[in-house]
Structure 1
Amino acid sequence: MTTEVRVPTLGESVSEATVATWFKKPGDSVAVDEMLCELETDKVTVEVPSPVAGKLAELVAAEGDTVGVDALLATIAEEGNAGPEETKPRAEPDPKPAKEEAAQTVDIMVPTLGESVTEATVSTWFKKSGDTVQADEMLCELETDKVSVEVPAPAAGVLGEILAKEGDTVQANGKLAVMTRGGEGQAHSADEGTPETTEKPGGMGGKDVEDAPSAKKMMAEKGVSRDAVTGSGKDGRVMKEDVMKALAGTAPSAAQNAPAQPAQQRAPVAAKDADREERVKMTRLRQTIAKRLKDSQNTAAMLTTYNEVDMTEVMALRNEYKDLFLKKHGVKLGFMSFFTKACVHALSEVPEVNAEIDGTDVVYKNFVHMGIAAGTPSGLVVPVIRDADAMSFATIEKSIAEMGAKARDGKLSMAEMQGGTFTISNGGVYGSLMSSPILNPPQSGILGMHKIQDRPMAINGQVVIRPMMYLALSYDHRIVDGKGAVTFLVRVKEALEDPRRLLMDL
């Protein structure tokens, strides 16, 4: 008996991958869950394990081939499983052999979670046992230390037993549930029956459109009715930002009454007050944020130095060229590209701010992977703009916009949040006038931006009103001396107050 090895579900909006590496060749013996090959998509690398034990019979897709979801990769000749399979038709004559053979049991597995991530928590099941599901319809949502991972149905069929309940911790490549694939009235693969091809003509489509799991979760937490939210996704699919808009525009009280996270150390609570409290378990992301921030304080010798920058020249330059910039590059010219360029310039002069400690060694980075801290409804994340030192203003702005959108939608992969060498945090977007940012370990520096505020300044003996911003550099004093930290911040200030210095490399 032969078993087909097919391309697993690659994630929402990802429809194809490239076969990167085959770890086995035809004739090789393979064990259950042994890695057969590796696929690469635009965002992540996906490992394909063997579903059965046996011998690899034929490679259908060679290295370098582009394959779609559910495409046939290879076949495996099973060992020792033929007996039980052959007894089934003998025990009960089958008047419809073709349809019986079409019904297959498929394991719903934990997808690849990212480098160094070994477990996740089952956050929400959107389906229950016995429910009919379409190919790529979301079954459940998992939470890791960094991101939420959606698990779609690999094919159309019926969801069987759910093995991992909500709140359970599951290991990478663990089994979540089983489903029956194919059979009477069910398509065999995503190509044979997607929501678009199975929807009845003339239908409204509302029942067949699966809202984003993050949106469902937020609607449930905030008590927002589905009818009160206008979906902006494909076929009217409700996304997380649609729920946020509904909260801001039509249900501000829901946002104001969101349950607060309980403190670690609680004082005694009166009985009448306890009845009015609501206890909500911290998400894995929030737990990880809390742990990493506290570890940063406990590990690094953290110190903060401050300065202020006159934003007059940057604002004038931006106002002069923003329309032409948008027309040519298709992206708005913001302040973040100026700050990124200024930091890159300063890091070249003070390289210890871009370094990290490894044991008794100092590791200097001859590149800049810039972390851009972003607040999301789920918590703080820091996507990384790689090789920012080699980017133009337009490329930086495009990269920041792309990463920001992924952060808001919860679509950032682990790889996109790892490897940063320095971080910029913009508290000014929330109105912060002054703050002391916390280091993002193992980095040695983080720059805090703040609100631009008109203030009276003494310029050439006269008092004038200027748009001023406070800057804060938190740094690890174990590796960065006070002189280096102050020099870094002064260089950032000089570059922003006279942007021409960036062009002249001064």
Structure 2
Amino acid sequence: MAVEIFMPKLGMSMKEGTVVEWLKKKGDKVKKGESIAVISSDKIETDIEAPQDGVLLDILVEQDETVEVGKVIGYIGQEGEQPDDQSNETPQQAMQEVAVSVGTIEPYTAPRHMLRVSPAARKLAREAGIDLSNISGSGPKGRITRADVEKAIRLKQTSLQLGNEKQTIVETSPITTEQKDVTVKPVTGMRKVIAARMFASLQQTAQLTIHMKADVTELLKLQGQIKEALQDEPDVKLTITDFIARATILALCIHKQMNSLYQDGHIHTYDSVHLGIAVALENGLVVPVIPYAEKLSLKEISKKIKELSIRAREGKLSSEEMRGSTFTVTSLGAYGVEFFTPVLNPPEVGILGVGTVTDMPVFVGDAIQKRKILPLSLTFDHQVIDGAPASQFLATIKNYLENPYKILL
């Protein structure tokens, strides 16, 4: 009997999902556990795996279509079989099985015929002409990652160079100038969600950005001292982001107005800090949340940031882990950017942008010294907060960073 493929429920709050891409065509043979489609919801992209061996009998929901959770999007059965409206399972049972199949995270080495491939890796392989069946995945359950494909591309290029092989490109049909110079692709999946939210953010809020510099020379010295003192604890590696997060949390506890959401004409001010940490991915940006961050020590915050960042880059975050933030920190320091204008993550009323640390000559008394300077950019919603209290909040963060011992208290 044909088995229904349902739109899975990836989180408690998920109500609908979008089919980003079908990895198999109608009539293709599939193996149990093989990725057959990519779906997305709330910035999460994940694969749907075949529940059994067979043939993809029918596709009911085409690429870029959005449907409710629990809706049948296709059928798998035996060759020549007709999809049956009846199923041995309830939609809830089937959704649970699909959700389990896309969310399992146990160590596993996939057999050759059961290819598990991240969407970004599949796209890169297709563009580079790489046969995925010849790649051993380094991800969970043998999943092929973008890094695996990039490695295969380098090996292929090296092989071509050593063999002194030449490739000849033959045009089989006329190509217009426009086709040569322009690549057109639809906005789908995570990029589509981000585009909609950023547009809505700028339309619905009165955003203003102010800038300030913090002298983090002493903070970096303290970071080095802690690193040396904790050499016997390799799991504890405090980064400057950890200190910035802790300073921001402490400042939000003092300036509670900044720890607010603006919804339906009402300002919701929170006593607890639910801190969002922006994480850049290959195809977009996600903001995992550290709930009740004011209750955590610097060490616990550091551990939480690292865990969430790893889960985000592996595509393992649930929608619940990206909801409920009251303030966000985002950084472009790793890319050499100094000041920039971060865009609010509504309904939050504030977001802190962090730039790269630079060496600058600074007067200390009458002497000029080389100091480590950190650029900070605060965007806030002027509907809720005025410039003076926003400046006071940013100055409090600066004070914590320039007097790092206060962060440890």
Q: Same fold (TM over 0.5)?
A: yes
CA distance in 1, matches of 2:387, 2:327: 17
CA distance in 1, matches of 2:269, 2:49: 42
CA distance in 1, matches of 2:76, 2:351: 48
Greater shift, 278-287 or 319-328, is seen at: 319-328
Name the CA shift for 1:110/1:324 in 2 (closer, same or farther; >3 Å).
Answer: farther
CA distance in 2, matches of 1:159, 1:135: 12
1:359 corresponding residue in structure 2: 264
Q: What's the CA shift for 1:129?
A: 4.1
Q: What's the CA shift for 1:468?
A: 0.7
Name the CA shift for 1:156/1:326 in 2 (closer, same or farther; >3 Å).
Answer: farther
1:341 corresponding residue in structure 2: 246
Name the CA shift for 1:172/1:333 in 2 (closer, same or farther; >3 Å).
Answer: same
2:185 corresponding residue in structure 1: 280
1:430 corresponding residue in structure 2: 335
Q: What's the CA shift for 1:132?
A: 4.5
2:315 counterpart of 1:418: no
Query: What is the count of residue pairs matched by the alignment?
Result: 365
CA distance in 2, matches of 1:429, 1:490: 23
Q: Is the radius of gyration larger for structure 1 or structure 2?
A: 1
Aligned counterparts, 1:95-114, within 5 A? 104-114=1-11
SS at structure 2 position matched to 1:366? coil
2:277 counterpart of 1:372: yes
CA distance in 2, matches of 1:233, 1:431: 29
CA distance in 1, matches of 2:15, 2:137: 34
1:485 corresponding residue in structure 2: 390
Match of 2:113 among 207, 220, 234: 207
2:124 counterpart of 1:218: yes
Greater shift, 271-280 or 363-372, is seen at: 271-280
Q: After superposition, what is the alpha-carbon deviation per residue over 1:198-248, rounded to whole angstroms, capped at 9, x for unaligned?
A: xxxxx9943344333442133224555548866313575412343356678
**Native 8 Å contact 2:17 2:40 kept in 1:** yes
SS at structure 2 position matched to 1:447? strand
CA distance in 1, matches of 2:132, 2:380: 46
Q: What's the CA shift for 1:106?
A: 1.8
SS at structure 2 position matched to 1:429? helix
Q: Percent identity?
A: 34
CA distance in 1, matches of 2:156, 2:318: 32
CA distance in 1, matches of 2:189, 2:141: 31
Q: What's the CA shift for 1:117?
A: 4.2
- Structure number with higher relative contact order (C-alpha < 8 Å, ≥ 6 residues apart): 2
2:36 counterpart of 1:139: yes
CA distance in 1, matches of 2:65, 2:267: 40
CA distance in 1, matches of 2:334, 2:355: 7
**Native 8 Å contact 1:147 1:285 kept in 2:** yes
Unaligned runs of 5+ in 1: 1-103, 182-189, 195-202, 252-270
Name the CA shift for 1:160/1:222 in 2 (closer, same or farther; >3 Å).
Answer: same
Q: Which amino acid letter does the alignment assign opposite residue 138 of structure 1?
A: S
RMSD of aligned Cα (Å): 3.0
2:94 corresponding residue in structure 1: none
Name the CA shift for 1:245/1:477 in 2 (closer, same or farther; >3 Å).
Answer: farther
2:73 counterpart of 1:176: yes
Q: Which amino acid letter does the alignment assign opposite residue 456 of structure 1?
A: P
Unaligned runs of 5+ in 2: 79-96, 102-108, 158-175
Aligned counterparts, 1:69-468, within 5 A? 104-114=1-11, 117-180=14-77, 205-221=111-127, 223-226=129-132, 231-233=137-139, 236-243=142-149, 272-325=177-230, 327-328=232-233, 330-468=235-373
Q: What's the CA shift for 1:368?
A: 0.8
**Native 8 Å contact 2:35 2:50 kept in 1:** yes
Task: Flag as ranges the 4+ runs of structure 1 deviating above 6 A.
Answer: 247-251
Q: Which amino acid letter does the alignment assign opposite residue 430 of structure 1?
A: Y
CA distance in 2, matches of 1:315, 1:397: 16
Q: Which amino acid letter does the alignment assign opposite residue 176 of structure 1?
A: I
Name the CA shift for 1:170/1:238 in 2 (closer, same or farther; >3 Å).
Answer: same
CA distance in 2, matches of 1:134, 1:223: 23
Q: After superposition, what is the alpha-carbon deviation per residue over 1:376-426, rounded to whole angstroms, capped at 9, x for unaligned?
A: 111111111111111122221222112212222223221111110000011
1:27 corresponding residue in structure 2: none
Q: After superposition, what is the alpha-carbon deviation per residue over 1:123-161, rounded to whole angstroms, capped at 9, x for unaligned?
A: 222334454444333221113341113212234444332
2:399 counterpart of 1:502: no
Whose helix proportion is higher, 1 or 2? 2
SS at structure 1 position matched to 2:2? strand
Using structure 2 for the length normalisation, give the TM-score. 0.80
**Native 8 Å contact 2:35 2:115 kept in 1:** no
Q: What's the CA shift for 1:430?
A: 1.2
CA distance in 1, matches of 2:46, 2:284: 15
Name the CA shift for 1:376/1:160 in 2 (closer, same or farther; >3 Å).
Answer: same
